[in-house]
């Protein structure tokens, strides 16, 4: 099977990886135009661009962009390298089988994300209450993370007000490298949570990684509006944006292309 076919299989199977291709090379460059290097999350790679040093750069670019979920053209040592990525749908792990979680599951699923619900209370964490969840873990945070996993493309939302569940989930999350950690609660509740985490030995420098209170300031009151606020924040984080109003933003609205391109004219 060719590297291109294997990369297509990674995409079909919702895996994570990157295919680096030499698309141009200056005269005298060691790169071979058309050569490819396939890198799979976890470090496995196959192929070569024609030079060990170039391969090392390509692996670094692949590792960077497969997690950033961007395809880019990179220039190095007289060669133009196109890095194409494949990635599974982003995952949103929700701690707390509450009404907000049900609404957020619906919102996440509609946006193409895979939502997971975690709660040790079996009477609340049911498929009937969360039909849109990718999976439901009836257990404590450690069990959930062991089952679901946690990586640089994992987004975590703590939605309960129970210190036993909240603090355990946040403590484990802060030991990893998730893309986002958010926690619900009033500012008073956040202050108390902060004190508990500090007493538990979490470094103060790590606490800034928690987005709390969770979500964007939309002024929402219902479970659906709160879910929209949270979903808007995680999408903004995933795309490297602040989440403000487009009318007040500078620069390009879309990083690649234009969403209106190809739309039929009304005239």
Distance, CA of 46 to CA of 38 (rounded, Å): 5
Q: 155: buried, middle or exposed (CB in 10 Å: 19+, 13-18, 0-12)?
A: buried
Q: Domain segments of the chain: what residues? A: 3-86, 91-238
β-strand partners of 95? 118, 158
CB 228, CB 220: distance < 8 Å: yes
Q: What is the CATH number of domain 91-238?
A: 3.40.50.720
> What is the percentage of the chain residues whose pLDDT exceeds 90?
66
Confidence band, pLDDT 50/70/90 cuts, at residue 42: confident
Structure tokens at 180: 């986002």
For the stretch 205-241, pLDDT in tens is: 899 999 988 999 888 889 899 999 999 999 999 988 8
pLDDT given for residue 146 in this prediction: 92
Q: Which helix (H) or strand (E) holds 58?
A: helix 52-68
**Contact indicator for 41, 149 with CB cutoff of 8 Å:** no
pLDDT number for residue 257: 42
Angle 250-211-96 from CA coordinates, rounded to 5°: 130
Name the maximum alpha-carbon separation found in the chain.
Answer: 68
Query: What DSSP assignment string belongs to 132-186?
Result: T-SEEE-S-HHHHHHHH---TTEEEEE----HHHHHHHHHHHHHS--SEEEE---
- Pick 68 or 246 by higher pLDDT: 68
Nearest residue to 119 (alpha-carbon basis) of 87, 144, 102: 144
Which position has the higher pLDDT, 190 or 105? Answer: 105
Identify the H or E element spanning 15.
none
pTM beyond 0.75, yes or no:
yes
On average, the pLDDT of the chain sits at: 88
H-helix or E-strand spanning residue 210: strand 210-211
* Among the listed residues 151, 153, 123, the one whose alpha carbon sits nearest the alpha carbon of residue 136: 123
What pLDDT digit, counting tens, does each position of 241-265 carry?
A: 887 766 666 656 555 444 444 444 4
């Amino acid at each position: 099977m060719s590297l291109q076919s294997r990369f297509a299989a990674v995409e079909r199977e919702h895996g994570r990886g990157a295919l680096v291709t030499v698309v141009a090379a200056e005269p005298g460059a060691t790169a071979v135009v058309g050569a490819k290097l396939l890198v799979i999350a976890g470090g496995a790679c196959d192929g070569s661009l024609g030079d060990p040093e170039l391969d090392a750069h390509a692996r670094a670019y692949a590792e960077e962009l497969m997690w950033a979920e961007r395809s880019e053209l990179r220039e190095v040592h007289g060669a133009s390298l196109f890095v194409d990525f494949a990635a599974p749908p982003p995952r949103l792990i929700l701690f707390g089988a509450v009404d907000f979680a049900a609404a957020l599951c619906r919102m996440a699923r509609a946006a193409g994300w895979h939502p997971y619900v975690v709660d040790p209370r079996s009477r609340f964490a049911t498929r009937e209450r969360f039909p849109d969840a990718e999976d439901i873990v009836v257990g404590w945070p450690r069990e959930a993370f062991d089952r679901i996993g946690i990586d640089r493309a994992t987004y975590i939302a703590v939605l309960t007000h129970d210190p036993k569940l909240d603090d355990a989930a946040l403590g484990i999350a802060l030991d990893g490298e998730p893309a986002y950690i958010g926690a619900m609660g009033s500012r008073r509740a956040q202050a108390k949570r902060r004190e508990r985490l500090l007493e538990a030995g979490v470094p103060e420098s790590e606490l800034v990684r928690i987005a709390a209170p969770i979500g964007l300031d939309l002024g929402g009151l219902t479970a659906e509006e709160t879910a929209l606020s949270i979903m808007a924040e995680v999408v903004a984080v995933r795309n490297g944006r602040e989440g403000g109003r487009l009318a007040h933003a500078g620069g390009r609205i879309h990083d690649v292309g234009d969403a209106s391109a190809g739309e039929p004219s009304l005239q």
